[in-house]
Amino acid sequence: MLISLGAQGQEKRAYVPSDDKGSIDSLARSEQGTPTALMIDPLLIQQRLKSIEGRIPLIYNIHSHQFVEYFAFKKAAFTQKMLEKRDLYFPLYEKYLKLYNLPDELKYLSLIESGLETKALSNKGAGGLWQFMPYTARGDFGLRVDSFVDERFDPERATEAACKYMRQLYRIFGDWHMVLAAYNTGPGNVKRAIRKCGATNFWGIYNCLPTQTRNYVPQYIAITYMMNYHWDHQIQAQEWARNMPSDTVHVNGYLNLNILSSLSGFSIDTFRVLNPHILANTIPSSHQRIIMRIPSQKYVYFQENRRKILDSAAYFGPRSIGHDSSLSVQPVEQWVKKSHSVRKGENIYTVARLVDVSVFELKRMNHLRSNRIRKGKKLYYFVKEWVMPKIEVAKLDTVKSQEEITDKKLEEKPASKSTKLSKKPKYYKVRSGDTLSEIADKHPGLTVEKIKKLNHLRSKPIQPGMRLRIL
């Protein structure tokens, strides 16, 4: 349940965990042991830890000192990024820590858990700001975790669950360092370490714990120090992350989120930022009371047109929703071409995971012969999305009055026969690895049978370089 740290450049972009899945402690493990020279005065760190100590002891020793220097020098970019992002989540953390009567300084724990990344996912499957395993999130705290909605990625739901968990652990162990150790490795492993070493405090069972857990408490102490004394080590925030004001609504049953966001007047990308816990483009009919956030500036309009918007977002198939639903239109599913510019520290595997495309497909679509990609290169990929026809209601920012939107009837003009006949033929050049079904999927409205008919294909296989008529 530790975070992955990657090299950070000076680019203005959101913090993305490195493709290197090694955690902080695995990187620092090689640096353990008595150093030949310390770069920061030990007495200074010891005095400062005492001055900021609250309910959780901030013990100074060689282990905590090494991690202070680790975050101050080797991982200074990570420390800076945490300063820039902490205001996004600390008010939320403080609210729930106070509600559950927990030490306020526990808010620093999430920094080493997830790097304040809402969708951080460890190689063991732990996810979210507080790095819950799926079975713990579902079984112990009632969070929804499936392929459509994963509430481990919802900052509010995950934070409350983390507070409940830490409160449970404190009732078991009665010692905050032991709570931190149990949060990392599980209470069962801590109890086994207690039996093996015969002690009931963290430093007494230190040698009986897994290596990553031994480093976990010193990491916490060090990052707490750095968040309070970063200025003395020439680490300052350069660009503060800003919170987008939002309001919460509860929705039930099937919804197409592309349609919902379009009719509500904001982009699907904005929806993703506000709702990291909603993973898919749709919410299935089996899901009830899903928490959804929309931009505050669009909330009044959404509430005034809630029924019409939700009816349209729930519409699929040939059925009618009602003659009086002026916002109701039929969505169209199609392949959408998108691009991703390679950032510093990314490689082909990082990008493939980010855009949810296999490495093989990403290389094929971009004609790449090797896995090497350089910073700034634009990679293209296709995703299948439900999209709305271009309609006036989608341009909410340019319409002066809401009455003009709600009163306007949406019309789709069918193409005339003469227009269809005047369309020029379009062709597609076959690439290595292409199949007829893949070519058909890339072009909305095209089928394998239509390709065969347009090109008089029977049993002859297609070859790279062939020009196939597709329209």
Three-state SS string over 5-62 comes to CCCCCCCCCCCCCCCCCCEHHHHHHHHCCCCCCCCCCHHHHHHHHHHHCCCCCCCCCH
Whether 86 shows a pLDDT value over 90: the answer reads yes
Q: Are 25 and 211 in contact (CB under 8 A)?
A: yes
432 and 362 both lie in a single domain: no
Whether 12 shows a pLDDT value over 70: the answer reads no
Give domain status of residue 38, yes or no. Answer: yes
Residue-wise pLDDT tens digits, 239-287:
888 889 999 999 998 999 999 999 999 999 999 999 999 999 899 888 9
Rounded to whole angstroms, what are the CA distances from 180 to 91, 173, 201, 214, 448?
A: 21, 10, 11, 10, 58
In whole angstroms, give the CA distance from residue 170 to residue 189.
15
pLDDT category of residue 230 using cuts at 50, 70 and 90: very high
252 and 358 both lie in a single domain: no
Q: Give the domain-ending residue among 351, 376, 407.
A: 407
Do the strands 255-256 and 282-283 form a parallel or antiparallel pair, or are they unpaired? antiparallel
Give domain status of residue 362, yes or no. Answer: yes
300 and 363 both lie in a single domain: no
Q: Are 83 and 227 in contact (CB under 8 A)?
A: yes
Mean pLDDT calculated for residue range 19-32: 38
Rounded to whole angstroms, what are the CA distances from 213 to 24, 135, 241?
A: 11, 21, 30
Give domain status of residue 14, yes or no. Answer: no
Rounded to whole angstroms, what are the CA distances from 208 to 57, 213, 214, 220, 415?
A: 21, 10, 9, 19, 75
156 and 262 both lie in a single domain: no
In whole angstroms, give the CA distance from residue 302 to residue 221.
45
Whether 60 shows a pLDDT value over 90: the answer reads yes
211 and 274 both lie in a single domain: no
Residue type, 445: G
In whole angstroms, give the CA distance from residue 227 to residue 68.
11
Lowest-confidence segment of 129-138, 234-243, 334-343 by average pLDDT: 334-343
Active site (catalytic) residues: 113
Q: How many domains does the chain have?
A: 4
Give domain status of residue 239, yes or no. Answer: no
* Residue-level pLDDT at 449: 78
Give domain status of residue 238, yes or no. Answer: no
220 and 264 both lie in a single domain: no
Q: Give the domain-ending residue among 233, 262, 289.
A: 233
Whether 21 shows a pLDDT value over 70: the answer reads no
227 and 252 both lie in a single domain: no
Give domain status of residue 2, yes or no. Answer: no
Task: Give percent above pLDDT 70 in the chain.
Answer: 79
Give domain status of residue 133, yes or no. Answer: yes
Based on its alpha-carbon atoms, the radius of gyration of the chain, rounded to whole angstroms, reads 27
223 and 102 both lie in a single domain: yes
* Residue-level pLDDT at 11: 38
Whether 156 shows a pLDDT value over 90: the answer reads yes
121 and 199 both lie in a single domain: yes
* Residue-level pLDDT at 320: 36
pLDDT category of residue 425 using cuts at 50, 70 and 90: confident
Q: Could you report how far apart the first and last alpha carbons of the chain are, in Å? A: 53
- Structural domain boundaries, residue 262: 246-313
Residue-wise pLDDT tens digits, 364-408:
889 888 888 998 899 998 876 655 555 444 333 433 333 343 344
pTM, two decimals, is: 0.64
Report which of residues 419 and 20 the model is more confident about. Answer: 419
Token duo for residue 215: 């480093």
In whole angstroms, give the CA distance from residue 440 to residue 334.
11
If DSSP states are collapsed to H, E and C, what string results for 331-352?
A: CEEEEEEEEEECCCCCCHHHHH
* Residue-level pLDDT at 286: 87
Q: Are 256 and 282 in contact (CB under 8 A)?
A: yes
Whether 418 shows a pLDDT value over 50: the answer reads no
Torsion, Cα of 262, 266, 269, 273 (10° steps): -130
Q: Give the domain-ending residue among 286, 313, 340.
A: 313
Residue-wise pLDDT tens digits, 98-114:
999 999 999 999 999 99
Residue-wise pLDDT tens digits, 201-224:
999 999 999 999 999 999 999 999
265 and 160 both lie in a single domain: no
Give domain status of residue 1, yes or no. Answer: no
Whether 20 shows a pLDDT value over 50: the answer reads no
CATH number, residue 384: 3.10.350.10
Mean pLDDT calculated for residue range 158-168: 97
200 and 96 both lie in a single domain: yes
* Residue-level pLDDT at 65: 96
253 and 223 both lie in a single domain: no
What is the pLDDT of the chain when averaged over all its residues?
81
